[in-house]
C-alpha cells in the first residue's frame, strides 16, 4: 500500500537517517521579526514564516523541509504546516518527492532563463500600458517602494529588500489594469523568490539595483513607455547574467 504523502510510513532506518539529516543540516531561522506584525491566523503565520525563510535563503533551494522540526520551532501542529506546504507547492516554491517529503524547489539555469523570458513578455505588455496611465498616487507608491528597497539594502535587511523590491515592481505594473496577466506574473515571481536572495547577497548587485531602479523611476515619471520597457529589460538581464555564475 503506498505511503500517504502527509504521513509517510518510514522504516526505522529511514527515521534514523532523517534524524541524522536534521542534526547535520543548519536550522532554518523561522523567528518572526516583530510580534506586532504577526499574521492573525495560524495558517497565514506558518505560510508567511516559510516564505520568509525561503526568500532570505535560510531555507535555500534544494533544502529538505523537516516538518516535525519546523512545526516545533513555530509552535504549531503539522496541520497548518501541511496546508502551507500545499500552497507553496502550487506556487512552485516547494516540491514533493515520494518517500522523501518536501524540499525547497530548485531551478536549473534553463528553467530560470525561461521564467525570466516569460516575465519579459508579460511585464513589457503591462509596463507599456501602465506608462500611459500613471497617476500621481501611482508614482508616489513607486518612488516610496524604491526608497524602501534602498533603505533595506543599506541596513543589510535582505528580506526587507526583497519585499520592497516586489512592491516596487508591482506598483509599476498594476496600473495597467490587467488582473489576469498580473496573476500569471505573481506566479512567476513566486517561483523564483529564493534566487533573489542569491542575487542580492552580493554588494555589487545591491548597488546596481539601486541605480537601475532610479532609471526605472525616471522613465515612469516621464510616462515614456518605450524607455520604461527598455529599463526593465536591462534590469532583468543583469539579474540573469549574475545568476548564470551561481546556478549550474
pLDDT reported for residue 122: 98
Tens-digit pLDDT profile for residues 101-128: 999 988 788 888 999 999 999 999 999 9
Rounded average pLDDT over 221-234: 97
- Per-chain mean pLDDT for the chain: 85
Instruction: Extract the C-alpha cell encoding 162.
Output: 526583497
Rounded average pLDDT over 134-161: 93
pLDDT reported for residue 15: 46
Residue with cell 518605450: 226
Checking if the pLDDT of 38 tops 70, the result is: no
Tens-digit pLDDT profile for residues 147-157: 999 999 988 88
pLDDT reported for residue 96: 93
Count, residues in the chain: 248
pLDDT reported for residue 9: 39
SS (H, E, C) the chain: CCCCCCCCCCCHHHHHHHHHHHHHCCCCCCCCCCHHHCCCCHHHHHHHHHHHHHHHCCCCCCCECCHHHHHHHHCCCHHHHHHHHHHHHHHCCEEEECCCEEEECCCCHHHHHHHHHHHHHHHHHHHHHHCCCCCHHHHHHHHHHHHHHHHHHHHCCHHHHHHHHHHHHHHHHHHHCCHHHHHHHHHHHHHCHHHHHHHHCCHHHHHHHHHHHHHHHHHHHHCCHHHHHHHHHHHHHHHHHHHHCCCC
- Name the band, by pLDDT with cuts 50, 70 and 90, for residue 90: confident
Per-position DSSP letters for 141-206, written without gaps between them: HHHHHHHHHHHHHHHT-HHHHHHHHHHHHHHHHGGG--HHHHHHHHHHHHHTHHHHHHHHTSHHHH
Residue with cell 529564493: 194
pLDDT reported for residue 217: 98
pLDDT reported for residue 234: 96
pLDDT reported for residue 248: 62
- Name the band, by pLDDT with cuts 50, 70 and 90, for residue 1: very low
Amino acid at each position: 500500500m503506498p505511503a500517504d504523502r502527509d504521513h509517510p510510513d518510514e522504516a526505522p532506518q529511514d527515521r534514523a537517517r532523517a534524524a541524522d539529516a536534521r542534526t547535520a543540516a543548519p536550522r532554518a531561522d523561522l523567528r518572526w521579526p516583530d510580534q506586532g506584525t504577526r499574521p492573525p491566523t495560524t495558517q497565514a503565520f506558518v505560510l508567511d514564516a516559510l516564505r520568509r525563510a525561503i526568500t532570505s535563503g535560510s531555507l535555500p533551494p534544494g533544502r529538505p523541509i523537516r516538518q516535525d522540526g519546523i512545526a516545533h520551532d513555530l509552535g504549531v501542529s503539522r496541520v497548518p504546516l501541511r496546508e502551507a506546504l500545499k500552497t507553496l507547492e502550487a506556487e512552485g516554491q516547494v516540491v514533493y518527492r515520494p518517500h522523501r517529503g518536501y524540499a525547497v524547489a530548485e531551478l536549473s539555469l534553463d528553467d530560470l532563463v525561461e521564467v525570466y523570458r516569460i516575465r519579459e513578455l508579460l511585464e513589457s505588455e503591462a509596463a507599456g500600458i501602465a506608462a500611459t496611465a500613471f497617476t500621481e498616487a501611482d508614482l508616489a507608491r513607486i518612488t516610496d517602494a524604491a526608497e524602501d528597497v534602498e533603505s533595506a539594502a543599506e541596513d543589510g535587511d535582505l528580506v526587507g529588500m526583497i519585499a520592497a523590491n516586489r512592491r516596487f515592481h508591482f506598483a509599476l505594473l498594476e496600473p495597467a489594469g490587467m488582473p489576469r496577466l498580473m496573476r500569471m506574473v505573481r506566479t512567476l515571481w513566486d517561483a523564483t523568490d529564493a534566487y533573489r536572495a542569491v542575487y542580492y547577497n552580493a554588494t555589487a548587485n545591491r548597488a546596481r539595483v539601486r541605480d537601475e531602479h532610479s532609471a526605472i523611476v525616471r522613465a515612469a515619471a516621464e510616462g515614456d513607455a518605450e524607455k520604461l520597457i527598455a529599463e526593465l529589460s536591462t534590469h532583468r538581464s543583469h539579474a540573469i547574467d549574475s545568476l548564470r555564475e551561481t546556478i549550474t
